[in-house]
Structure 1
Amino acid sequence: MRPVPRHRLLAGLLLTPLLTTGCFASGGEASGEDAADGSRLRVALAFPPAENLSPYGADATLLSRLGVTEGLTELDANGSAAPALAASWTRENDRTWLFTLREATFQDGTDVTPAAVAAALTHATEAKPVPAALAGVTLKAAEADGSRVRITTGDADPALPLRLSSPGLAILSPKAYGSGGSGGKGRRPDPAGTATGPFELTKVSGTTAATLDRYDDYWGGRAQASGIDARFISDGTARTNALRTGQADIAEAVPVSQAAALDEGTRHETATTRTTSLLLNTKKGPFKDPALRSTARGAVDTSVFAKDVYEGYADPGAGVFGPAVTWAADKRVKPAGRAGAAEPDGTTVTVATYNNRPELPEVAQVLGQQLEKAGFRVKLEVREYSRLESDALAGKFDAFVAARNTLLDTGDPVSVLASDYTCDGGYNLALLCDKDVDRAVAEAEGLSDSAKRQQAAMDAEAAILGTDAVVPLVHQQIITGVRTSVRGVVFDPYERTLIDTGTRR
């Protein structure tokens, strides 16, 4: 009997939103032939491929959510590392781990071998930019004896099994990196037909659609659906209507404004580890001044966002980590050393956000009103995410409103703090560089005991909040629309999985 994939054990889901609207070919049921072999699933997705379906960037989550890619490990329902392509692992010393592979094949028919796994991880370390899970990490992978892979890190990394669960560290076959495709050192590999998941990517139509077929030799068992027809529909209302009119079986990221339009049996809410925050540019502009950051933080009333903007589908911001991170509340530390507030005197600030998540422009508008009431003059800038990220990371805005799943990239709370708030962080939208923060994160990174690491993460969170570089606004719930004829959709609080072998209609 083949092992059951961990995804079936999860209870919680998530989404993502963006780009072009589109329609499915037809409503109605599958043909007799299709029904006999498992119906295809029609899925309305919010975010289109932003990087040609590279497994190293934002598209990595898209691939994992559709059941295309897998890593050596995955997250279980408690947020711990669980077996995936690696059946087990042991730690040889502080910097070296041995991962024993299970018997599996790539979608091109070749075996998952230690050499192939080591090569895939090596390619990830050479990617530009490096996958978020590897930010600040030096990693070397090599074939070991038997069916094992030896992974060595430059520094001790107690969270390595969690890190390897990242969608950005998916294992692809050597063909994905071949000279005929997009592979090669530092290049983006091609996941079409080269991954290990239950569904094989067979066609991508730009940023509007993708076709996936069942991979019958999947190690975790044959999927019940024969394939997936995905459409990328950026408009939340259009996405919801696709479900209501029978053109879609699953619609992710239903806007809260559309929730009432769905019957109760088709509307599913999931508490997630996603936090919507105001990030203030600490490197240049008005918010380089800690006193003005303090003023901005004091102007924010988080209850307004949870109650009015998210219509109750969110909790007021409490910290970087919200209530879906079940251990956080009991370990939270009160921030200390905050600067005193200063009078803005009409200082103009530019607040940017993206419209891929339909609530964010409204969040930014309400936030602008709160800041103006405190004495700032506010200019809003709203674009789609793919046209905004590089400018935000370059510090071209004074403030940025973003929705961030804090456990998406690695599952390790310390790693997200290192990525988002340290001097060398790869996704540091606040451009924060504070020696006390770096010290607190570094201390947390060195701990292997789970409880101690969690407490150190909360100590580091307090240091970050004390700079007023980030103002947590809400901790989100996500609404997913699912037709009543569909079973087995994965409601994942970590936003990594949507469809697996048990999803069917």
Structure 2
Amino acid sequence: MRLPARRLLPATALTAASALLTGCFTGTQQATDDSGPGGKRIRVAMLQPPRSGLSPLSDDAFKLSRWSTAETLVKLDREGDARPALATEWKQSGRTWTFSLRDGVTFHDGTKLTPEAVVRALTEAATASPKPRILDGVDLTAKADGEKVTVTTATEDPLVPQRLSSPQLAILAAKAYRGKTVNPVGAGTGPFELTKVTGTSSATLDRYDGYWGGKAESPGIDVKFVPDGTARAAALRSGEADIVEAIPVSQAAVLDQDLVTEVPMPRTNTLYLNTGKGAFKDPAIRAAARAAIDAESIVKGVYEGRADVAKGLLGPALPWAAELRTPVERAEPGDPAGKTVTIGTYTDRSEMPEAAAALQQQLQKAGFKVKLDVREYANIESDALAGRFDAFVLSRATVLDSGDPAAYLYSDFASQGTFNLSHLKDPEVDKALKKATDTPVGDARRKAIAEAEAAVLATDAAVPMLHERVIQGDAAGVVNAAHDPRERELVTADTYVK
């Protein structure tokens, strides 16, 4: 089937969008440093502004990770296996894991990485309210043991190293934890030091010459938060930004294709249905919504073919999921006639309002009466978590935290999950999720995860529609920018601008 024509950005829109960035990078591009090939600072246009003052205990942690300023004990390789970072090795003994720390690491304030510093950071995360989602359902304690750190969980947990790779468990200097909030400015261990944050508009990072892994190629990073997707695309076209994340699919064709990289990612666009109250408390009405949704038309009409139709919650970035997936027995659709529902979504990803509008039409055709509530994510998340919508359209990373989807499934669908937008409380789902969480890493765990996915899908609490792709823009002079499906890396020590 022929795809719809791509929408081009008119010159007047380009001028207006570009104006949003005018002045934000002024002068920074001319900075030079003769000590390496990267004599210019890197100008980055980011999608979402900070939600929690760049606290690593929130989703802001992934910004700190993408700027290479905050680091974790462990990192993940492409396959999702744990590899050394601030910790060089580890071993398990029942419920306890022992980690050896890397020598010669200093925080950006000059203090040394010590077992006590690691324990402080992990304890702050483990006792936070709410906890970082990687610790959903996990009771974790950390103690200094000579020059090493021990991490103990209430029950034996095969995923402790992978959990500790989450940017939300970054290790920061003691100064970061003074007061009621966590302040990452000048407190990381990475190749770039966060030196200034200007509210929700910009951030500045300078090269940290004492980095344990060697001096970064670029002298620094200048970040501008640009929620408007048209403005981000315009910044790349006009040369005002060097790296642009999350280019909207509607703007991808406008750009020089040599500057655009598209990477399949473990991110699913899902319609979460509120099972706790309202119309979708009835399984038959949830089934009617699921039956009414035509995901293929949304992929073609909204995403212009730059996405994959979902067969389940886990997409092509996890090929084993399709191999293990089995048919799911669901409720028969009921009659939605006269049922009024409100769907919430957000403007930060430009495709989301369009996807919600398409869903509105599809559900209305099936007999629902549908209202939309669309806002910036920072202004709508609390209402979504509180269950104030009948349904919510969300673009959700499925292995963002640990490289393992069990944590995402637990967070989103367990009775005690902290991101349970569906307000699902189902004993069979909880049982399947616990089995997936407790099973050792390997084939048996993957099978248990597939079974947990099937248990969730059987409830129709969530209707997976499509799996997204990363669309990133890199200016012609950019060298070694990261293209990371997990959205943990963007600018690394090896990244520079010619």
TM bracket (short chain): over 0.9
Structure 2's unaligned 5+ residue stretches are 1-18
Aligned counterpart for 1:305 among listed residues 298, 302, 305: 298
* Alpha-carbon separation, structure 2, partners of 1:335 and 1:240: 41
Determine helix, strand or coil for the equivalent of 2:168: helix
Determine helix, strand or coil for the equivalent of 2:496: coil
- Identify if the C-alpha distance between structure 1 residues 30 and 326 changes in structure 2 by more than 3 Å, giving closer, same or farther: farther
Whether 1:59 and 2:60 are equivalent positions in the alignment is yes
Letter in 2 for 1:143: A
CA contact (8 A) 2:118 2:149 kept: yes
Whether 1:468 and 2:460 are equivalent positions in the alignment is yes
C-alpha displacement of 1:274 = 0.6
Q: What are the residue-to-residue correspondences of 1:131-280 with 2, within 5 Å?
A: 131-146=132-147, 148-178=148-178, 182=179, 187-280=180-273
Deviations 1:388-439 (A, max 9, x none): 1110000000000000001112222111111110100010011111000000
Aligned to 1:486: 478
* Alpha-carbon separation, structure 2, partners of 1:149 and 1:333: 42
Determine helix, strand or coil for the equivalent of 1:392: helix
Aligned to 1:14: none
* Alpha-carbon separation, structure 1, partners of 2:130 and 2:441: 31
CA contact (8 A) 2:45 2:225 kept: yes
Aligned to 1:295: 288
Q: What are the residue-to-residue correspondences of 1:26-425 with 2, within 5 Å?
A: 26=26, 30-33=30-33, 38-93=39-94, 95-103=95-103, 104-146=105-147, 148-178=148-178, 182=179, 187-336=180-329, 338-425=330-417
Letter in 2 for 1:464: V
* Alpha-carbon separation, structure 1, partners of 2:110 and 2:493: 19
Instruction: Tell me how large the CA RMSD over aligned residues is.
Output: 1.5
Determine helix, strand or coil for the equivalent of 1:261: coil
Deviates more, 1:444-453 or 1:385-394: 444-453
Q: Normalising to structure 1: TM-score of the pair?
A: 0.92
Determine helix, strand or coil for the equivalent of 2:341: strand
Deviations 1:263-319 (A, max 9, x none): 111011011001000000000000000000000000011111222211111000111
Aligned to 2:438: 446
Deviations 1:444-496 (A, max 9, x none): 11111411111100100000000000000110012111101101111111111
CA contact (8 A) 2:32 2:40 kept: no
Aligned counterpart for 2:422 among listed residues 430, 435, 438: 430
C-alpha displacement of 1:33 = 4.7
C-alpha displacement of 1:74 = 1.3
* Alpha-carbon separation, structure 2, partners of 1:157 and 1:188: 29
Deviations 1:221-261 (A, max 9, x none): 11101100000111111111111111100111111111111
C-alpha displacement of 1:46 = 0.8
Deviates more, 1:266-275 or 1:443-452: 443-452
Determine helix, strand or coil for the equivalent of 1:284: coil
* Alpha-carbon separation, structure 2, partners of 1:405 and 1:414: 12
C-alpha displacement of 1:29 = 5.2
Letter in 1 for 2:46: L
Determine helix, strand or coil for the equivalent of 2:203: strand
* Alpha-carbon separation, structure 2, partners of 1:209 and 1:449: 40
Aligned to 1:8: none
Letter in 2 for 1:400: F
CA contact (8 A) 2:346 2:376 kept: yes
CA contact (8 A) 2:29 2:43 kept: no
Aligned to 1:3: none
Determine helix, strand or coil for the equivalent of 2:478: coil
C-alpha displacement of 1:190 = 1.0
C-alpha displacement of 1:22 = 3.5
- Identify if the C-alpha distance between structure 1 residues 346 and 51 changes in structure 2 by more than 3 Å, giving closer, same or farther: same
Aligned to 2:10: none
Query: How many pairs were matched up?
Result: 476
**Runs of at least 4 residues off by over 4 Å:** 31-37
* Alpha-carbon separation, structure 2, partners of 1:343 and 1:378: 15
Deviations 1:171-207 (A, max 9, x none): 01111113xxx3xxxx321111111111111011111
* Alpha-carbon separation, structure 1, partners of 2:85 and 2:101: 9
CA contact (8 A) 2:117 2:173 kept: yes
- Identify if the C-alpha distance between structure 1 residues 28 and 188 changes in structure 2 by more than 3 Å, giving closer, same or farther: closer
CA contact (8 A) 1:34 1:226 kept: no
* Alpha-carbon separation, structure 1, partners of 2:123 and 2:31: 44
* Alpha-carbon separation, structure 2, partners of 1:231 and 1:437: 41
Deviations 1:373-398 (A, max 9, x none): 11001001100000011100000000
- Identify if the C-alpha distance between structure 1 residues 331 and 164 changes in structure 2 by more than 3 Å, giving closer, same or farther: same
C-alpha displacement of 1:333 = 2.4
* Alpha-carbon separation, structure 2, partners of 1:467 and 1:351: 19
* Alpha-carbon separation, structure 2, partners of 1:449 and 1:234: 38
Structure 1's unaligned 5+ residue stretches are 1-19
* Alpha-carbon separation, structure 2, partners of 1:35 and 1:258: 37
* Alpha-carbon separation, structure 2, partners of 1:135 and 1:346: 38
C-alpha displacement of 1:320 = 1.0
* Alpha-carbon separation, structure 1, partners of 2:419 and 2:100: 32
* Alpha-carbon separation, structure 2, partners of 1:423 and 1:244: 46
CA contact (8 A) 1:21 1:235 kept: no
* Alpha-carbon separation, structure 1, partners of 2:69 and 2:34: 21
Q: What's the % identity of the aligned pairs?
A: 50
- Identify if the C-alpha distance between structure 1 residues 27 and 463 changes in structure 2 by more than 3 Å, giving closer, same or farther: same
CA contact (8 A) 2:32 2:39 kept: no
C-alpha displacement of 1:31 = 4.3
- Identify if the C-alpha distance between structure 1 residues 392 and 459 changes in structure 2 by more than 3 Å, giving closer, same or farther: same
CA contact (8 A) 1:198 1:215 kept: yes
Determine helix, strand or coil for the equivalent of 1:310: coil
* Alpha-carbon separation, structure 2, partners of 1:302 and 1:21: 34
